[in-house]
Chains A and B, each alone.
Chain A
Amino acid sequence: MTLSTIVDWFLSFITAIMNVILTPIDILIGNYLPSISQALTKINLLFEFISQSLSWVVSITGLSSYALSLIVLYFIFKLTIPLQVYVFKFILKWYRKLVP
């Protein structure tokens, strides 16, 4: 399992959860507010173009996938530590309450 696979799985997981939550709202907007839906689509197209260009810009740096994954993984770890600690403590607290 490579670094990029770990990062990719994590990001995919987050994305999937977000899609599950937001898809009903998307459907509502698409059905009842079509103009806003079109505007959102235009914004998305811009983002998509930026997103596609990003891989090209990254290729200029010549960095390996290992180095890129390491950087991303590090920042994910660093920026989500409070969340991780909170979840861990929450689980621990729950467990202690369950244990007689």
Chain B
Amino acid sequence: MVVILKWKKYLIFLITFLTSFLVIDEIHAQTTIPITTYSNSYYYYDEWLALRENDGYTTYHNEIFDYKNIDSNTGNVNFERLFNYGILENDTNYIFYKSESYNPNASQRNNWTGWFVVSKNNVNYFYMDSFLKNSTTMGIRVIISTQEIIIDKTTNLPILTDNSTSGFWKQQDNYFDYYNDNDYKNAWNTNRIRQNYFTNYNVMYSDNTIFAENNSFTAPNISITYSDFNFNVSFDIIDNSKYVYAYRLGNNSNWTTYTFGYDQNSFNVPVASNDTLYVEVIDSETLEVVRSATYSLSTLTPTITITPTESTDNYVSLRITFGVIDYDSYDYYLKSATDSVWTYLYSTDSSDNNFDITFTENNTLYVRIVDKSDESNIVAAATYTITTITEESTFFDSDETNFHGLSSIISFPIRFIRRIVSSTCTPLNLPIPYTGETIQLPCFYSIYQSIGNGALLSIYQLITDGVISYYVILNFLSLIKNMRDPDNDKIEVFEL
């Protein structure tokens, strides 16, 4: 028996904690961005490479790298796919580039010119491989969209990184910033290497005006839309190093800056009142506001929507959504059919118009919005009746109604135990002396339920259920064992 008890002990603990970890793991599950790598094991002779622009940066390494391969020996022209990504498509912006011969053998890798240009959001990005050709006579022909550019490399370029690392260069002002691929994917501005080609090295290109044109000043345009209690703010140019993107709501005097992450060009600002959103784009060097926009919301009205978010046999969670949150103009109240007083609703976050409440017994919820200046003026009201919670036995309910007399006092312990088991918690109403007012203490279940959408409560209950089950089973088995022990006179022994 002792062995069985110990075995059960470990099994129950094992199941409890493994289940807890599974729940925690599910909560913290994150989406990972797949990173595609490519191989350098190709021979290039005389080739034109075509680079397709994709819509977003999430697959920025997945562009089509088709190229025309001209065999130097036979003169045959072959179109081969360098990185096995798709085919050329119509109505797509391609950037072609030409590179010289490349041999992946280490001794000849200096002949490799692995760089090409792609234009995104009016900014040129220079993708480079590890090595650049030492030759001073190589010419590279680049076509960006419809504009043909002849670029003559007049001097040696530095070896950028080691052989295995690839990255790209981004032109910013008079600088070229080198981004490692992984750094770029993880964060826009981290671990970058900034090099000034124009001061530390000879001029890279003979025709610098090309870059001057492409790099002409174009401030990001701001677009603001509203949908479902959120302002959506988007920009057509994202450059965290050059611009500061800031916003504030009219009821908040502090500006909030937003740093865009990978593959982002917009963000949401939650709003629950008829507020005005101010957005500014500031030049990070001159601190000049280069763009600004506002959006004044006036369509929100005091309405009440009650929707069930979770429904089980034991409890029902409801979400109350107010059409507008304006604590200066309105007061928000709720009460259940079993409550004697109204509960005032308030949230420190004025952009949050949702309130969650959980009922553990069938009840009716009343919600209303009243005019702050005239409390008798009910602006909006809503009711929700819960009938889906499994009814408890009603066959013997007389103890609840008959609470007077001797029988009630004698049966109080029974009622006391029933209260524990029933788990129907009602808010505690306590009268405040000398004021005639009543203070209402809400049930802790509803408070716990509001933390992390009830995840914390679920985990806590999972663990406590396991531990309590363990001890109850342990004591139960111990009880059975004692019953079978004739020497133990604690309880009467079966002698059938």
**A→B interface (CB under 8 Å):** 4-5, 7-9, 11-16, 18-19, 21-23, 25-26, 29-30, 37, 40-41, 43-45, 47-48, 50-56, 58-60, 62-72, 74, 77-78, 81-82, 85-86, 89, 92
Contacts and interface: CB of A to CB of B under 8 A. Distances in A.
A52 B422 CA distance: 12
Contact of B426 (A48, A56, A72): A56
A19 B65 CA distance: 88
B94 to A, nearest CB: 61
B421 A67 contact: no
A81 B483 CA distance: 10
Contacts of A16: 396, 398-399
Given A19-B407, A68-B420, A70-B469, A59 B425 contact: yes
A11 B414 contact: yes
Given A25-B405, A74-B475, 4 more contacts: A4-B422, A9-B393, A12-B393, A47-B409
B397 interface: yes
A78 B214 CA distance: 85
B106 interface: no
Interface of A (DSSP majority class)? helix
Interface of B: 314, 392-393, 395-399, 402-412, 414-428, 441, 443-445, 448, 457, 460-461, 464-465, 468-469, 472, 475-476, 479, 483, 491-492, 494, 496
Contact of A15 (B396, B404, B464, B468): B396
B420 A44 contact: no
A66 B56 CA distance: 51
A44 B471 CA distance: 35
Given A19-B407, A22-B407, A56-B428, A71 B468 contact: yes
A89 B465 CA distance: 35
Contact of A53 (B392, B420, B428, B465): B428
B464 A64 contact: yes
Contact of A62 (B408, B414, B420, B448): B448
B405 A64 contact: no
Contacts of B428: 52-53, 56
Given A8-B393, A23-B407, A47-B409, A65 B445 contact: no
